[in-house]
Amino acid sequence: MIYLENIFVCLAIPLIIAACLLKGETRRFTVFFTLGFLACLLSAYINSFIAAVVADNGYASLTITQAMVQITPICEEIMKALPIFFFVAAHRHGRDSIVAASLAVGLGFATFENCFYIMEYGSSDFLFALARGFTAGVVHASCAAILGYGLALTYRRGRPAVPCAFALLCATSTFHAIYNLLVAAKGAWRAAGYIMPVITAAVMIGMTNAKLKIKN
Amino acid sequence: MNILKTIDFISYIAQSALCAAWGIRSFLRAQKRKDSSLLFYLLSGFYACVFMSNIYYLLTWTVEDYPFLLSPGDLSWVGALAFLITIALGFTDGWPPGQRKAAGRYRVPALAAPAVCIAFNIAYIAIYPDLIFNYLLYAVPTVILSYFALWLFLTEHKDGALPGLQSYHLTVLVWIAVQLFYDLFSTLGWDYGYAVPFEICSWLLTLTTAGVYFAAKKGVDA
């Protein structure tokens, strides 16, 4: 059994101390990176609870794998979005800050999740580590980036920002669920699932490098 | 029945392909024309949500047969509705107080659209009470969107407050109406001989989904 709280403590403390020493954007990035760890920890608790409920009650004739495919992405995306929503609602920052904070949460989440998987399944298999890095890690970062870019579009517009935030949350949850569905399958579907986040990241990097300007 | 199931499958693929194409088109348009970029960014989000919703349903059919319950595919469809609500709210955002007051006259007549949506949703729940949560999840954004679409349509129609966007609001209203009938026939079920009207609605939904882009483009260009 792996005690996620202990991993969280040993990873988060140095980052919290670093955040106290740093200033400006770097501090913000460190704080949100640590919040990504926390989001991962809390969603792990919630997912474990859901798995236990499904195992005990057989909810809607779902298997645990099916429940994980359908419910986990929604839970994880909500947990990741909460600190970003708070940041956008509570502070008046620029678009770049929102995107950076959002990415930091996504990266923190992916890092913490990868730490857990490496401890659970061992670090001897290089291909497993590579696959984790390029797939699940990129999915979390991509979803967070989509949320960040989307919020940056409407955050100054008052009322329209609320349904837009909800819509983005729905979109990222489904994107994540499609990935989970493909990866849980076998053969070519699984391969497609592994390729999906890489293509998404490539497109996003391409667009960012092309310096696409967003104008309200 | 098998032919109809094949047609159903094809209609899902067609709608997915069309949404992917129109999503990219909306995104490129948003890049090109900065004056209306937000509208087209949000439209690309709308198309992305419809695309992902269809892809999710197709995958649950082909990869593994999942039990029918609230799924991320449904959530994505709700997200598509939320993107259209964002667009509708965006239209009213820059209004001066005088115009807002004038538009206020049409708030009560606009309640007709949500009333129709609520009636349809009561029918769904009466026919299939097991899926009450799904229907409520769909009903809330549909009711809000239908209200804004009719209100903005009436405001444009009578006062000309939003030049050129009348056809966009009308298309959104038609899209909602088709969706309501689509849901009604899917709720009534294939077993009772509603497969043909369901398929007709499915293809109409595909066409009206594409029509949203053209109506928005026409409105912005006007």
Expressed in percent and rounded to 5, the helix, strand and coil fractions of chain B are 90, 0, 10
Task: Please indicate, yes or no, if residue A67 is contained in any of the structural domains.
Answer: yes
pLDDT in tens, A6-46: 889 999 999 999 999 998 889 999 999 999 999 999 999 99
pLDDT recorded at residue B69: 62
Neighbours of B197 (CB within 10 A): 14
The predicted pLDDT at position A137 comes to 86
d(CA A193, CA A181): 8
**Domain count for chain A:** 1
The predicted structure's pLDDT at residue B70: 65
B164 has a pLDDT exceeding 80: no
Option in B31, B45, B60 nearest A171 (CB): B45
Q: Is it the case that residue A212 has pLDDT exceeding 70?
A: no
Query: Taking all residues of chain B, what is their mean pLDDT, rounded to a whole number?
Result: 85
Is B109 in contact with B166 (CB distance < 8 Å)?
Answer: no
| Percent of chain B scoring above 70 in pLDDT | 92
Contact A159 B38 (CB under 8 A): no
What is the domain extent for residue A200?
4-209
How high is the ipTM of this complex?
Answer: 0.90
Closest CA to A35 of A101, A118, A114, A117: A101
Architecture in CATH of B2-221: Up-down Bundle (1.20)
pLDDT of residue B45: 94
Which residues on chain B are in Cβ contact (under 8 Å) with A169?
A: 79
Which residues of chain B make contact with A70, given a CB cutoff of 8 A?
66, 69, 71-72
Chain B contacts of A170, Cβ < 8 Å?
49, 75-76, 78-79, 82
Q: Per-residue pLDDT for A52 more than 60?
A: yes
| Mean pLDDT, range A122-148, rounded to an integer | 88
At A216, the pLDDT band (50, 70, 90 cuts) reads: very low
CB-nearest to B90 from A70, A157, A181 is A157
Residues in A whose CB is inside 8 Å of some CB of B read 60-62, 66, 69-70, 73-74, 150, 153-154, 157-160, 163-164, 166-171, 173-178, 181-182, 184-185, 189, 212-216
The answer to whether residue B40 scores a pLDDT higher than 80 is yes
**Does residue A216 fall inside a structural domain?**
no
Alpha carbons within 13 angstroms on the beta-carbon side of residue B187 total 21
Interface mutation vs chain A, best among B86, B93, B100, B138, most A CBs within 10 Å: B86
Smallest Cα–Cα separation from B87: which of B27, B133, B46, B116?
Answer: B46
Q: Which is more confident, A86 or B6?
A: A86
Where b means 16+ CB within 10 Å and e means fewer, B132-142 reads eebbebbbebb
